Amino acid sequence: MNRFSIVSILFFCFLLVSCDPSKKLMQDGNRQYELGNMDGAANYYYNVLLVKPGHIEATQGLQKAGSIVLNGKFSQFSKYVVANDQANSVHQYLSCKKYFKGCNSVGVELEWPSMYDEIYEDIKNEYISKLYDEGILLMQDNKYDIAEQKFTAISEIDSTYKNATVLRTRSLIEPLYQHGIKMMEAGNFKEAYRDFNKVVAQDITYKNSKALRDEVLVKASVGIGIMLVQNQTREQGFDVRLYQQIVASMVVSKNPFLKVVDRAELERMLREQELGMSGIVDPESAAKAGKLIGLKYVLMTALSDLVFEDPGVLTDSIVAYEAVTEQIPSSTGGIPQSVTRFKKVKYCDVHQKRRVYYRVFYQLVSTQTAQVVASEVLSEEVADETHYATYNGNVSNLYPELPTGNFMPQKPTAFREQFNSVKKEIASKEEMTHLVCKTIAKKMIDEINIYIEQ
């Protein structure tokens, strides 16, 4: 072999090496991995596998670095979920899915944390529902271009809305209808109800959506028995009012899945089972009785403290200073000199305060497990107070303190206004009691609805 041939072969080998970018990519990937830049390292390994599919070292590198990157992405997803940021939660999950599929396309299958899937489905459904409602409202306001953006955003999340457009109303309804069928078959009757209810709102004649809505509502409804409030105080009557307010608030609540069973209905249902309410004093016995009559939950409430304070109308005598101007004759017979002096006086502060303090303990008991699924001690104070100040002298010359130096003392706005305020009637015990009952009922129902919606 002559010298020219040897040089040609060596040059050809050099070209083969120089045309193979995988080595350089691999070196850069390893360097980024050592620096702790997993995202950058994974990108280099990914590109190596695009050039050389099946590259062992790149496959191993992407497996390690990609797993760390994917876990980091899901960590961010969790933060968005905790912050109740639906939009970013959905898009972050889709980013995780895209990354997972990208690695899979070059032969690297990362471990997918399936525990997040159910969380995502709930958030996605709620987010799509929100976008849908916003889109419908925009259509009603003739803002079709903005509405179209909402439905386009939905289609990017859920492919069933791919052909949905504001120009074809039925193309918006059909995906909802199909999702409702899917949720119904999966036993998620609450989600199915929401879908069919939206369909009916747009077109009550659409297929059999109304009948399906009514069917899933029955299956999704949760029966809750409201037990009488146990009164552990000496006050009489408040327990009855509280019970009535709880029942009334639940009945008028906007939760379509809540089926309230009050005292009269409870007694009738228990009599049919030859049971009595008098023996239901603890969660276990309440759960047994509730299960027998077909309830899912039983609400037990106890009033442990109720204090009403009203010392009556009180009058305090408060020290102030009245400015008095005196004319002092001039010793030379000239113009008299004006001098302001302050005399100590007292004015009356007529005041009254009424205060109601309560403490209530409630337990929401599951009849299936006899476990208390929600419980809390609610305590709060409701008060009303009136003040009315009177003074027999000249109020405009009255000051709360003596001057300092040669300057007139300050007269704060609050000090002046107390003499001009209109005397108002203090809230009655009846009004305050009603407010207390409403406050307790609202707090309880807000908490209970969390479980009813599940």
Looking at the fold, whether 448 and 428 belong to one and the same domain comes out as yes
Does the residue 422 lie in any domain? yes
Looking at the fold, whether 84 and 149 belong to one and the same domain comes out as no
Does the residue 209 lie in any domain? yes
CA-nearest of 138, 179, 140 to 157 is 179
The gap from C-alpha 125 to its chain's centroid, in whole angstroms, comes to: 17
CB 108: neighbour CB atoms within 10 A? 23
Looking at the fold, whether 281 and 333 belong to one and the same domain comes out as yes
Helix axes of 86-105 and 38-51: crossing angle, nearest 10 degrees: 40
CB-based contact 302:362 (threshold 8 Å) = yes
- State which residues form the domain around 452: 222-454
Does the residue 4 lie in any domain? no
Looking at the fold, whether 100 and 129 belong to one and the same domain comes out as no
CATH of the domain at 177: 1.25.40
Looking at the fold, whether 104 and 172 belong to one and the same domain comes out as no
Does the residue 5 lie in any domain? no
E strands, 59-115, are none
Looking at the fold, whether 215 and 234 belong to one and the same domain comes out as no
Looking at the fold, whether 132 and 103 belong to one and the same domain comes out as no
Distance between CA atoms of 384 and 400, rounded to whole angstroms?
Answer: 25
Does the residue 377 lie in any domain? yes
pLDDT tens series, the chain, 454 aa: 444 344 344 334 444 445 568 888 999 999 999 999 999 999 999 999 998 999 999 999 999 999 999 999 999 999 999 999 999 999 999 999 999 999 999 999 999 999 999 899 889 988 988 998 888 888 888 888 888 888 889 888 988 888 777 777 777 888 889 889 999 999 989 889 989 998 998 889 999 999 999 999 988 888 888 888 998 988 888 888 998 898 888 888 778 888 888 878 877 877 777 666 665 667 888 888 888 888 888 898 999 998 889 999 999 999 999 999 888 877 776 777 788 889 999 999 999 999 998 899 999 888 888 888 888 898 888 899 988 899 998 898 999 999 887 788 888 888 888 888 777 889 988 888 888 888 888 888 888 777 766 5
CB-based contact 250:230 (threshold 8 Å) = no
Length of the chain: 454
**pLDDT value at residue 3:** 44
CA-nearest of 396, 311, 387 to 349 is 387
Residue 407 DSSP symbol:
S
Looking at the fold, whether 271 and 174 belong to one and the same domain comes out as no
Number of domains in the chain: 3
Where do the H-state alpha helices sit in 281-424? 283-292, 413-417
Looking at the fold, whether 316 and 412 belong to one and the same domain comes out as yes
